[in-house]
Amino acid sequence: MPLGGAVTRNTLRRQIADALRDEALAGRLRPGEIFTVKQVAEQYGVSATPVREALVDLCAQGLLESDHHRGFRVHAFSVDDYRGMVHARMLVVDGIFRSRNLYGPSAGADLSYGAELVPIRRRGEAAARAARAGDLDVLIGYDIRYWDELGRIIADNDYIASFLNRLRVQAWMFSVPHMRCDSYRLEWLWSGHVGLVDAITRGDADGAVAIVRDYNLRSLEWADLLDGRDGATG
């Protein structure tokens, strides 16, 4: 009986953390917004304990900040934070490819994972459609799952995959408020999910690396654009 209670509480803790994360990714929880354990518990009709644990988990993921006097605050990521995320994922992903000896004489090494990539490709197709349509809500959900699953296959290391997933979520946390008010956001929404999966399926390491590098460079270009806007309006 005690074990069952613990499992139920842990499940509730994850559900609350996921729900709050989704609220932030949807832009309904704004950067800098403050709320308390009591407010969240009342909103979801649950006790304070799993709520407090869920909020602590989100703090550990870098999505919230704890203010002992006021409650919890949605973390506000800066443009420099975003650049750091992009540079970090560039280094890690390049390291993954290098560790598989894909640069050099064996640049044509087999990078194919066969059937494992089929469901990921379907998610990539959905993400690409959402990106082209400018549907952020649909895109974010598919994009995060796409990169999480692809990262776990390519990295073959849960620690690295978890780190990349955390960067992915944080990058979207930064991006969403800007993209919600950017009438030109379609230009910056990446839709190369299918091309990347297809390159990996073919074992085309050079092609896969080129797609990822181009995507990261576009992300840095967008960061520079945001910096220019801030400078013009600041």
Confidence class for position 227, pLDDT limits 50, 70, 90 = confident
Residues 6+ apart with CB under 8 A from 177: 27, 30, 31
Q: Where are the domains of the chain?
A: 2-74, 79-233
Q: Which fold has domain 2-74?
A: Arc Repressor Mutant, subunit A (1.10.10)
- At 36-94, the pLDDT tens digits run 999 999 999 999 999 999 999 999 999 999 987 889 999 999 999 999 999 999 999 88
Q: Do domains 2-74 and 79-233 have the same CATH topology?
A: no
Sequence-distant (6+) residues with CB within 8 A of 168 are 89, 143, 144, 147, 148
pLDDT at 99: 72
Q: With beta carbons less than 8 A apart as the criterion, state whether 63 and 31 touch.
A: no
* Lookup result for tokens 């839709």: 191
Rounded CA separation 234/228 (Å): 10
Rounded distance between C-alpha atoms, residue 228 and residue 224, angstroms: 6
Average pLDDT, the chain: 86
Buried/exposed 167-201: b ≥16 CB within 10 Å, e otherwise: bbbbbbbbbbebbeebeebeebbbbbbbebbbbbb
79-233 CATH fold: Four Helix Bundle (Hemerythrin (Met), subunit A) (1.20.120)
Tens-place pLDDT, residues 124-171: 999 999 999 989 999 999 999 999 999 999 888 999 999 999 999 999
